[in-house]
Structures are given as C-alpha cells and as structure tokens.
Amino acid sequence: MDLILNIIAGLILVGLLILIIWATKHPQKSKEISWLAPVRFYLTHQSLRKWTINIIGALLILWVGNFYIHWIQPAITPATMFPPPFNGPMAVNVEKVTVGPVVNVATYTGSVQPWQSNKVLSRVDGFVESMQIYPGDFVHKGETLAQLDLSQLRPALDKAIADSAYRFSEYQRAKKLYRDSVITPSDFDNYKRVYKQSVAQVQQMQADLQYATIKSGLNGYVAKRFIYPGDYVKKGMPLFRIDQLARVRIQFTVSENDLPYIHPGDRVLLTSPAFSREVFKRYPEWQNKIHYWDEDGVRRALLGKLKSGSKTDTAGTNSEVPKPYLLSKVAVVFPQEDSATHTGVVEIRLTNPSILFKTDSYIIGKFATAGVDSTLRVPTRAIISLPENEAKGVYLAPALSEQGFAQLRKITVGMSGSRYTQVLSGVKPDDYVIYAGQKDLTNGMSVVVLNRKNQ
C-alpha cells in the first residue's frame, strides 16, 4: 500500500509539471479550457511559474531519492548481481600433518670475490716495449708481465755512475785536505753531502731499471689488462689486475633483521642457476661436494640433520625436483652495517678447485635464521586468518575418503617458515589439512580431494 501511494504522489507531481510547462507554451489554448480558469491569473505571471517549476522539480528529485532508498536499493542483493555459487563439492588439495623440522630460511644473493686481488701499478714513466700475457692467463709470482722501454734509462744511469765516481774522488781528496786542516769542516761536509746525493741518484736509477720490468706479485689469473704495446704509462698508472682464485670469498649483503641470527660457523647452502648434473660432470673435484636436496632436505641440512659427507640425495617427499647445493659455513660477519641500506656483509670462504667459481659470479645462499629440530607442523599456505582476536585456523579434510565435509579447526601457531609452520595445538598427526582451495570454503562445506600429499 505504501508503495502505491508513493507512486501516485510521484505521478501527481509529474502531471503538474507537464501541465504548467504546456500552459506556458500554449497560453491561447489554455484560455479555451474552462477548468483552467481558476489558475489563469497564475499562468499570466512568469515569475510565479518559474518558482513553481523549481519547487515541483525539487520535490521530484526528493521523491526519486526516497523511492530508490526505500524500494530499489533493498531489492539489490548479491544473489541478484552475481550468479549463485556452485552447489557441488569444492575441489581441494590436502596434505598430512607431520612431525619434522621447521626452519625460517633467509635467501640472499651474493657475489664471488678473489681471495687476493693485486692491481699492478707502474712505478716509472715510459713506453710499453713488450708484453706476452693476456686476460685469462695464469701467471706465477715474480713472472714478467711487461717490459718498459730502457733506451733512455740506461744512458742516464751510465752518466749518473760516472758522476758518482767523480764525486767519490772529490770526497776522498776533501777528506785528506780536512785532515791537513786545509779546508774547514763546513767545506768537508759539503763534499760529503754531494757525494752521497750522487750515490742515492745511482741507486734510484738502478731501481727504476728494475721497475721497468713489470712483474706479478702473486700466483693468479690475469683478470684485466689496461695497457697495450706502445702505450706511454706514467708512474702510478694501473697496468694489470691479477686475481688469486684457488680460494675465493663469497660475500652476501644481508638485512639487519637477519644479521643477529647469523654467526661465524653457521651452516649455509650455496647454489646457482648454472649448477646442474651436466656441469659437475666437467668438474670431477666437485662431484662429492655437491648434494641434491628438496626444500625439506634444505631445512634438515641447515639444522645439521643431513651431513655434508652424506651421498644420499632426498628425492623429495612432496614430488619436488631436488636442486644442487654446496654445504659450507659462515666465515665472518662484518662488524659494520651500511647506514643507508641498513645491511651488513656476511662472507663465506672456500677452496675453488678447477676454478668453478669465477670473479663476480652470481651465487644464491640460504641461511637458517631460526629453527626447531622436530615439531608438529602444517603447510604455511594452509593457514587462514580468523576474525576473532587475530586467531589462525585450518580446514581439515576427510582422512579416509576422497569426498566429505571440510571442518574448520582453530589452531595455535609457533615458529613460521616459508614452507611449514609449527602448530602448538589444534591438530594432531595424520590429520589432513586443505592447502589449496580453502579460501572459498565454509565450515561443513562438501569437498572432493584431488591431490593428497604425504599419504
């Protein structure tokens, strides 16, 4: 009844508005209509007509708003806007609640640095006369790398030697005259000073002749060459860089949030996108050092449950493809952080047979920042947030059949990792939790299990 009255009121307002507009545009015809005689005075005053039209228009706007709020909006429901949900069972994937390690693994990328790097600098000026080494060549300590032109140094040295011999004879003569009191002590000291200066000049030029032969300061590989034959070099100019790669240092830039959990001696797993079984066939020295582990094996290795000497690879309890890892240890955690990035440096040191690790190569390191050896655990992605007091929960699937009903179970969680989360209460071993498809579930909804892990 209220809806009918509301519609009638709206029609009356619309009719009045149409009548006034028509009478205004057709004043002659309106005079012929007898029942409009009572309002003929109103129709002849333009200002009154404008005010009336405005008032009726405002009332119509209010009527439309009121009609929408009270009658149209309540009728719009999710059921009218979206199709009804599928009434059949929801397809889900489930995994068994297990007892095992829960490790918070932090993954960082690092770069390989040579154990030592020697930048060979020129100690004299001159032209490069010859050089026989190229980047990638291995050189020994003391091996000649390049030879500078000696055509100007040798004549200058001969002249300096001759001058020094003359100064020596002068010094000997002055010594005799000084003993005979012919010259003063000041004159004798002057002869002596000039002679020592000439000797020092000869020694300096002899050293320059030796410096003109550029030699390596360590055993290593020529990483860079900055000169070519015929170049003119000045004192202090870089000529070569020699990298010692028999041992390497791998440096990781680690967030200050993880630094307190990483200490010298802690285990770390190293891997690289370039690592593969085919690669290590070419590096026989590394085959006994590389191990193939899945994610669960990674966590056990970081906790010390899988030893570096073990030759047993974990095939992956969850059908995961094992990846190659080198198990090593943290050598040093640098004591200073970067004030701009709030990061610190963690360094790994290891021998490098066959030069598997190249300078500046890309390495991935996995560090255990926290962990427990054995605890009740569920997949982290199975956990959902409950509205009450930031509680957590999981949906349990039927354990013995492929179809049944999902049960919402509130749980208490402990340590959380990327793969598993520790559960302190709420589930028991051999329960099956839903880890895929649970977002659209409600308690008691019918489900069908497509994939069951850890069966």
Cβ neighbour number for residue 296 with a 10 Å cutoff? 21
What does DSSP say about strands 220-225 and 138-139: parallel, antiparallel, or unpaired? Answer: antiparallel
Give the type of residue at 418.
S
Spatial distance between the Cα atoms of 306 and 295, rounded to a whole number of angstroms: 13
pLDDT value of position 50? 67
d(CA 144, CA 139) in angstroms, rounded, equals: 9
Q: Is residue 361 part of a domain?
A: yes
Domain boundaries, position 7: 2-80
Distance CA 80, CA 209 (A): 96
Of 242, 275, 299, which closes a domain? 242
Q: What is the pLDDT at residue 330?
A: 96
Same domain, 365 and 248: yes
What single letter denotes the amino acid at residue 134? Y
Nearest to 411 by CA among 387, 393, 436: 393
Asked if residue 28 belongs to a domain, the reply is yes
Read off the CATH number of the domain in which 135 is found.
2.40.50.100
DSSP 72: I
pTM over cut 0.75: no
* Residues 329 and 273 grouped into a single domain: yes
| CA angle at 192 for the pair 191 and 197, rounded to the nearest 5° | 100
Within a domain: residue 325? yes
Out of 190, 221, 242, pick the residue that ends a domain. Answer: 242
Residues 449 and 409 reside in one and the same domain:
yes
3-state DSSP call for residue 258? coil
Burial status of residue 227 (CB atoms within 10 A of its CB: 0-12, 13-18, 19 or more):
buried
* Residue 330: both structure tokens together: 């943290």
Residue 77 is predicted with a pLDDT of 46
The answer to the question of residue 394 being in a domain is yes
> Is residue 24 included in any domain, yes or no?
yes
Q: Is residue 178 part of a domain?
A: yes
Model pLDDT, residue 367: 94
Strands (E) located in 398-455: 403-405, 407-416, 420-425, 432-436, 446-453
| C-alpha span between 89 and 86 (Å, rounded) | 8
Question: Does 173 share its domain with 72?
Answer: no
Tell whether 274 and 291 lie within a shared domain: yes
Q: Are residues 383 and 414 in the same domain?
A: yes
Specify the number of domains making up the chain. 4
Q: Which long-range contacts (CB under 8 A, 24 or more apart) does 83-87 make?
A: none
CA 120 vs. chain centroid, Å, equals 34
Does 220 share its domain with 143? yes
Residue numbers in the chain where pLDDT is lower than 50:
75, 77-80, 84, 308-312, 314-317
Same domain membership, residue 138 and residue 156: yes
Q: What is the CATH number of the domain that holds 447?
A: 2.40.420.20
Using the 3D structure, point to which of 242, 265, 298 is the last residue of a domain. Answer: 242
Question: How does pLDDT run across 285-305, given as a tens digit for each residue?
Answer: 998 899 999 887 888 888 886
> Looking at the DSSP assignment, which residues form a beta bridge with residue 338?
343
Residue 85 lies in a domain: no
380 and 360 belong to one structural domain: no
Please give the Cα distance from 134 to 222 (Å, whole number).
7
Three-class secondary structure of residue 1 per DSSP: coil
Query: Which pLDDT does position 287 carry in this prediction?
Result: 86
Q: What's the half-sphere exposure (Cβ side, CA atoms, 13 Å) at 413?
A: 22
**pLDDT at 104 (0 to 100):** 86
pLDDT at 357: 94
Distance CA 189, CA 178 (A): 10
| pLDDT score recorded for residue 234 | 92
For 250, residues 6+ apart whose C-beta sits below 8 A from its C-beta are 110, 111, 112, 113, 270, 347, 348, 349, 350, 357, 363, 365
Q: Give the count of alpha carbons within 13 A of 117, CB side only.
A: 13
- Note whether 143 and 217 are same-domain residues: yes
pLDDT score of 157: 78
Per the domain annotation, does 56 fall within a domain?
Answer: yes
Question: What's the CATH code of the domain at 293?
Answer: 2.40.30.170
Residue 158: CB atoms within 10 A of its CB come to 11
Q: Are residues 134 and 206 in the same domain?
A: yes
Residues 209 and 255 reside in one and the same domain: no
DSSP codes of every residue in 357-413: SPTT-EEEEEEEEEEEEEEEEEEGGG-EE-SGGG-EEEEEEPSS-SEEE-EEEEEEE
d(C-alpha 188, C-alpha 173), whole Å: 10
